[in-house]
Amino acid sequence: MAVWALGINHHTAPLDLRGRFAFALDQIAPTLHGLRDSLSSGSGRHPGVETAIISTCNRTEIYCAAEAPALDHTLDWLAHSGGVSPALLRSHSYSLDNSLVARHAFRVASGLDSMVLGEAQILGQMKDAVRAAEGAGALGTTLNQLFQRSFAVAKEVRTSTDIGAHSISMAAAAVRLAGQLFEDLTKIRVLFVGAGEMIELCTTHFAAKTPQQITIANRTLERGEKLATRFGGEVMRLADLPDHLHEFDAVISCTASTLPIIGLGAVERALKKRRHRPIFMVDLAVPRDIEPEVKQLEDVYLYTVDDLASVVQTAQAHRQAAVAQAEAIIDAGVQSFVHWMELRSPAAQNGGVVPLIQQLNSQADEWRALEIARAKKRLAKGEDIETVLEALSRGLTQKMLHGTMAELRAGDAEARAQTAQAVSRLFLRSHSKNGL
């Protein structure tokens, strides 16, 4: 199987271009169906291709696996879906294959490729993307292994290193910037537009500063009310936002809208009603929720996800040791994945490696089942449990070593010497490594 990936992120593409390729979670399944149909019917044909799409505010990435790679076709399809030329997308994208795909996926899951180094939110977003691909029937054995190993590596990185200890989240960065504009955050009124995970995080951080008022504006009142109740806030219909925008000193927006929901005219009218008292605005949505022209207004302080980059990259020096540790864990994970891929290659199959592994596992399971059955019978007769366990372990050991012992005693001296070397390599490696 060939594995390839294509993507754009905050390192390679500007915000507005990323917005063209942002897929909401409920769009993933139909988008995957479209991609698979295109790859299956295009030149070269890739029947049974595996696909997955990860789409966040900072990245959109396509992962594929098939008998042969189709990077150019994948790029053409993505460019068409975003309404741009393949040449433009190619200049802002990155493409990877085989082991490089695994390394990239492991780094993304571990938070090493995020705008906020070490942030944990991306791992949940990747898991959501994998569940969506599974639900769409687009995930096969290869990509499933890739992502499950990504999650395992990410878990090891988080438990074994301090990669996330000094990170500053987007939500915390928004509060920090607001604190630079307003002397006392307890006196400001804050409007949160949307009710998703990012808005929930931002509301949590701002609520800790006990602002004068918290209001949630959302398309569906029920979801907005649920979030507002948690923080003692109020709720507003999104349609009423233009009439009440002037009431708020800070506006934090992050919805899944494909078009801006706060326009230049609405902000200009709000400023006039406020007699040009400043408004602090943060647009965390991709595509944008707030028209970019708003940033040019004299009394508006508008920040996008890209504007927050310099804020969230503090304490970089403290994280370098953790990054080195994380990269070492990722290296080991990549080697393990490549080895797994090699075992599934036609050469390994034809060489008998995989069937032999299956036979060994089957034989070991048979021995284990036999000894467990014997142990259960002895326990049922009332024999001492330590005596039964001793017999079980001895029986398993004898079965596993019987063939080895027979080979060491059989044949001529040269054959026995070769067998002895193989036995030492297979059975005594851990002893020599530990100095025993």
Catalytic (active site) residue 57:
yes
> H or E segment at 122?
helix 121-135
Residue 63 near residue 105, CB atoms below 8 Å? yes
Whole-angstrom Cα distance, residue 129 to residue 29?
10
Catalytic residue among 57, 64, 202, 254: 57
Looking at residue 403, what DSSP letter applies?
A: H
> H or E segment at 409?
helix 385-409
CB-CB neighbours of 324 under 10 Å: 10
Strand partners for 283: 253, 304
CB-CB neighbours of 180 under 10 Å: 10
Whole-angstrom Cα distance, residue 414 to residue 304?
73
Q: Which residue from 231, 238, 194 is spatially nearest to 212, judged by alpha carbons?
A: 231
Q: Which residue from 264, 257, 307 is spatially nearest to 285, judged by alpha carbons?
A: 257
Q: Which positions ≥6 away from 144 have C-beta within 8 Å? A: 130, 134
DSSP helix/strand/coil, 414? helix
User: What are the start-end ranges of the H helices in 136-276?
Assistant: 141-160, 170-181, 197-207, 221-230, 241-244, 264-273
Provide the token pair at 121: 């939110």
DSSP helix/strand/coil, 360? helix
Provide the token pair at 342: 């090699």
Q: How many helices (DSSP H) and strands (DSSP E) are in the chain? A: 19, 10
Alpha-carbon separation of residue 136 from 120, 149, 309 (angstroms): 25, 21, 34
Whole-angstrom Cα distance, residue 69 to residue 62?
13
Provide the token pair at 66: 């098939």
Q: Which residues are catalytic?
A: 57
